[in-house]
Amino acid sequence: MAELKRLSESRDLTRIERIGAHSHIRGLGLDSSLEARDASEGMVGQLPARKAAGLILQLIRQGKIAGRAVLLAGQPGTGKTALAMGIAKSLGAETPFASVAASELFSLDLSKTEALRQAFRRAIGVRIKEEAEIIEGEVVEISIDRPLSAAAGSSAPSGATAPGKTGRLTLKTTDMETVYELGGKMIEALGKEKVQSGDVIALDKASGKVTKLGRSIGRSRDYDAVGPHTKFVKCPEGELQKRKEVVHCVTLHEIDVINSRTQGFLALFTGDTGEIRAEVREQIDTKVAEWREEGKADIVPGVLFIDEVHMLDIECFSFLNRALENDMAPILVIATNRGITSIRGTNYRSPHGIPPDFLDRLLIITTQPYTEDDIRKILDIRCDEEDVEMSADAKVLLTKIGVETSLRYAIHLITSAALACQKRKGKVVEMEDISRVYQLFLDVKRSTQYLMEYQSQYMFNEVPGEADGDDTMQS
């Protein structure tokens, strides 16, 4: 691996956008003087914690966070992960956000320090600038030749990609027009992007990647349907072929996996990356350092969020102590809901189960339980995010459930209630859907009660009260 040959593969990794638990969080929702707005950028309430996170943001921007980390302490479901995500989002769209639960680090496949190292490298972004040969123009016409076999009545499905498929693509700028011959791969790529005449596209000559830049303004009055999010752009000027600087953003971990001989880049999707050898990382670090010197790459420190940090043991904490001194270190945000508890791997007890030398590095922010009004607003935002229409009555009921059980349980009920509504062919989620799923899925309180009532019917039942739950911050 003298060169990082397979880096180009990372370009093909399309990040899968989906609706996740925190996908509604777009920042910390602060105004220009860093005061938290009541509800903004997907964030609601938790004002003092958000304001404190805003000050941390300023420390980060001024480069004064080095060697320190942030601890978010608070009850479960009080928005600790949401706050960490808000910090990452406020730092910019390219800022990587990696999140792990401390217990995940203790796996059978990886040593805990390797797992931590991978987590750190997932939170370090590299912006790589490259000169690329691009063909950029407005699509005049795409014509695909009908394969002979199809004309002869072959039984092949019409949408299937015939390997020998050919066609022609006519592209223009304001100054010229050219017809390009198309092969099967390119036809497939154009089909995937749903390119049609009137679109302005860019083709990367080396990788064959097709990017739709928008719809030509000249075609804005066409009758063909365009969605509300269609972007209109000008027809490009000058030559069709140009050299352009393109920027790819990848994480150090992605580069590691792609270049580790034992793992293909598909391991990035399965998460099954195994140990990555130290020399692979060293070579990558040297290469990235070279690129930085040549002005070809920049490092983008991201945010690494470690939840349940009281589950880390003393060796992990010494790893963190060292890792924070590295000049490429990401912003480390850790969270716990524990009070005074034992430090794993020792007989000592300390606040949050964190050793004193590490505690010393921490800026501590506490999160508070949500009010009924906050819960209602968060549920409202989640309904929008999940595209679920809900009647006012149903929202009142769901908020009440959120107050009495937990915010997270109420958020989970949104999706299942929407499915129940779909099943009865309804359009708007009503109270009946909420009550139905409330009966189907138990919250922790009811589940515990059920377990107590029927404990004799379970194997290995332990008398309640023996578990070490006495040091959590939960009331």
Ligand X SMILES: Nc1ncnc2c1ncn2[C@@H]1O[C@H](COP(=O)(O)OP(=O)(O)OP(=O)(O)O)[C@@H](O)[C@H]1O
Where in 155-214 is the site for ligand X (CB under 6 A)?
Answer: none
Q: Are 83 and 365 in contact (CB under 8 A)?
A: yes
Spatial distance between the Cα atoms of 474 and 336, rounded to a whole number of angstroms: 11
| Contact pick of 27, 79, 236, 302 for ligand X (by CB under 6 A) | 79
Shortest Cβ distance from residue 75 to ligand X (Å)? Answer: 7
Q: DSSP class of residue 324?
A: T
| Contact pick of 7, 27, 36, 46 for ligand X (by CB under 6 A) | 46
- Helix (H) or strand (E) run with residue 257 in it: helix 252-259
Is residue 59 classed exposed, middle or buried when 0-12, 13-18 and 19+ CB atoms within 10 A define those classes?
A: middle
Q: CA geometry: angle at 266 spanning 260 and 267, to 5°?
A: 60
Q: Are 100 and 119 in contact (CB under 8 A)?
A: yes
Q: Does 430 bind ligand X (CB under 6 A)?
A: no
Shortest Cβ distance from residue 336 to ligand X (Å)? Answer: 8
Shortest Cβ distance from residue 316 to ligand X (Å)? Answer: 18
Shortest Cβ distance from residue 95 to ligand X (Å)? Answer: 17
Cβ count near 110 (within 10 Å): 18
| Contact pick of 378, 394, 413, 418 for ligand X (by CB under 6 A) | 378
| Contact pick of 56, 60, 71, 81 for ligand X (by CB under 6 A) | 81
By beta-carbon proximity to ligand X, the closer residue of 137 and 369 is: 369
| Contact pick of 240, 303, 379, 407 for ligand X (by CB under 6 A) | 407
Q: Does 297 bind ligand X (CB under 6 A)?
A: no
Which part of the chain contacts ligand X (CB under 6 A), choosing from 76-84, 250-258, 324-332, 430-438? 76-84
Which one, of 275, 293, 207, 246, lies nearest residue 6 by Cα?
207
Q: Does 411 bind ligand X (CB under 6 A)?
A: yes
Shortest Cβ distance from residue 71 to ligand X (Å)? Answer: 13
Tell me how far the alpha carbon of residue 316 is from its chain's centroid.
25
CA distances from 100 to 37, 118, 334 (A): 29, 11, 10
By beta-carbon proximity to ligand X, the closer residue of 42 and 236 is: 42
Residue with tokens 């391991």: 267
Spatial distance between the Cα atoms of 119 and 89, rounded to a whole number of angstroms: 18
Q: What are phi and psi of 57, to 5 degrees?
A: -60, -40
Q: What is the DSSP string of 371-399?
A: PHHHHHHHHHHHHHHTT--B-HHHHHHHH
Q: Does 77 bind ligand X (CB under 6 A)?
A: yes
By beta-carbon proximity to ligand X, the closer residue of 42 and 355 is: 42
Shortest Cβ distance from residue 160 to ligand X (Å)? Answer: 41
40-58 in b/e form (b: 16+ CB < 10 A) is ebbbbbbbebbebbbebbe
- Residue nearest ligand X (C-beta atom): 79
Q: What are phi and psi of 326, to 5 degrees?
A: -70, 140
Spatial distance between the Cα atoms of 178 and 238, rounded to a whole number of angstroms: 12
β-sheet bridge partners, residue 202: 136, 211
By beta-carbon proximity to ligand X, the closer residue of 87 and 169 is: 87
Where in 255-294 is the site for ligand X (CB under 6 A)?
Answer: none
Which part of the chain contacts ligand X (CB under 6 A), choosing from 254-262, 404-412, 415-423, 451-459? 404-412
Structure tokens of 118?
Answer: 């991978």
Q: Does 43 bind ligand X (CB under 6 A)?
A: yes
The mark string for 109-138 relative to ligand X (x by CB under 6 A, - otherwise) is: ------------------------------
Q: Does 78 bind ligand X (CB under 6 A)?
A: yes
Q: Does 341 bind ligand X (CB under 6 A)?
A: no
Shortest Cβ distance from residue 308 to ligand X (Å)? Answer: 7
| Contact pick of 53, 56, 57, 82 for ligand X (by CB under 6 A) | 82
Binding site for ligand X (CB under 6 A): 21-22, 25, 42-46, 74, 76-82, 307, 337, 378, 407-408, 411
